Amino acid sequence: MPRSSRVPIVQVDAFTAVPFGGNPAAVCVTDAPLEESWMKSVAMEMNLSETAFLHPQDDGFALRWFTPAIEVALCGHATLASAHVLWQDGHLPVGKQARFYTKSGLLTADLVADSDGWIELDFPAKKSEPADAPPQLLEALGIDAVYVGRNQFDYLVEVQSEEQLRAITPDHTQLRKLPVRGVIVTSRSDAYDFVSRFFAPGSGIDEDPVTGSAHTALTPYWAAKLGKTEMRAFQASKRGGQLRVRLDGDRVKMAGQAVTVLRGELLV
């Protein structure tokens, strides 16, 4: 990249309509692909759970996501943030579907009509299968589990109550040793259909504020347990975030809001 380059960067809080809530993501939209080493350096510098990089491709945009430590194959909140930036900054006409080419295939985002800015993402469902819990998993969480499952990315653990879920203070050193991206912990809720938390110290994030990709596993799991395909969800991190999720065959439709909190330029 030329030394004189200036790359715009936008920070967006996703899965919230309130600044400083939800999950922050940085978004860089450029005309052409960027060097992977540079993207990794930027993600480390931003030190957010994810930084998204986009450039035009075919009838949409190539999209890659990086944590401060690694590149990830699927990220919901940074995809939501990316769609928000594309429409807000005029890279894409408002109302036109955002199409993203990613390591998880084609993902799309649409503005929900008459919905106060809600954006619906279309992601592949990532169902979990029952699994034996490795000894350090439940020990690190300090809980007894109602259910333990696993998919290609994460462990999924159901606990007895929302109170128990909110009280978890995990041993991140132990969780970091697990051979997965992260650990989803979930329970029923009085105010929502279900609540969750997501821990991913092995991916460079001790606790993620709101995790869209985790809901690709949570949605089919709770749809089967509750006998319904449309649900309201809350991720009970310190920042917190709300989602509307819908199971549609082997796809998960998840909707959230987003708000821009910061604009700047990367000086290269």
Q: Where are the domains of the chain?
A: 6-124+255-267, 129-249
Residue 102: C-alpha distances to residues 43, 107, 185, 220 (Å): 17, 7, 26, 22
Residue 202, classed as helix, strand or coil, is helix
Q: How far is CA 198 from CA 109, 110, 169, 217, 248, in A?
A: 23, 25, 12, 12, 23
Q: Which CATH superfamily is domain 129-249 in?
A: Diaminopimelate Epimerase; Chain A, domain 1 (3.10.310.10)
Say yes or no: do domains 6-124+255-267 and 129-249 share a fold: yes
What residues act catalytically? Answer: 50
Residue-by-residue pLDDT tens, the chain, 268 positions: 545 578 999 999 999 999 999 999 999 999 999 999 999 999 999 999 999 999 999 999 999 999 999 999 999 999 999 999 999 999 999 989 999 999 999 999 999 987 888 999 999 999 999 999 998 999 999 999 999 999 999 999 999 999 999 999 999 999 999 999 999 999 999 999 999 999 998 888 899 999 999 999 999 999 999 999 999 999 999 999 999 999 999 999 999 999 999 999 998 7
Backbone φ and ψ of 36, nearest 5°: -60, -40
Q: Assign domain 6-124+255-267 to a CATH class.
A: alpha beta
